[in-house]
Amino acid sequence: MCEANAYLMKDGKEELLMANVDILRPEGNVVYLMDIFGEQRWVEAAIKEMNLVRHRIVLEKA
């Protein structure tokens, strides 16, 4: 499976926000995330960088 872990940059540190992310969709100043189990989150953030081979998504506060 090719899901990734989503981290939120906070005070210069990365905090794990959601593991096994499948779907990710920016919606204004919110990012919608859904993991492979169907759990959903909406986070006030923007996408900073994604590294798919390393299974990493980094978000930062919008």
Q: Which residues are near its own copies by CB under 8 A?
A: 1-4, 21-26, 36, 46-53, 55
Query: Closest distance between its own copies and the C-beta of residue 49, in Å?
Result: 5
Query: Closest distance between its own copies and the C-beta of residue 11, in Å?
Result: 21
Q: Is residue 21 within 8 Å of 33, Cβ to Cβ? A: yes
Q: How far apart are the first and last CA of the chain?
A: 29
Q: Which is nearer to its own copies, 15 or 47 (CB)?
A: 47
Query: Closest distance between its own copies and the C-beta of residue 2, in Å?
Result: 4
Burial (CB count <10 Å: 0-12, 13-18, 19+), residue 24: middle
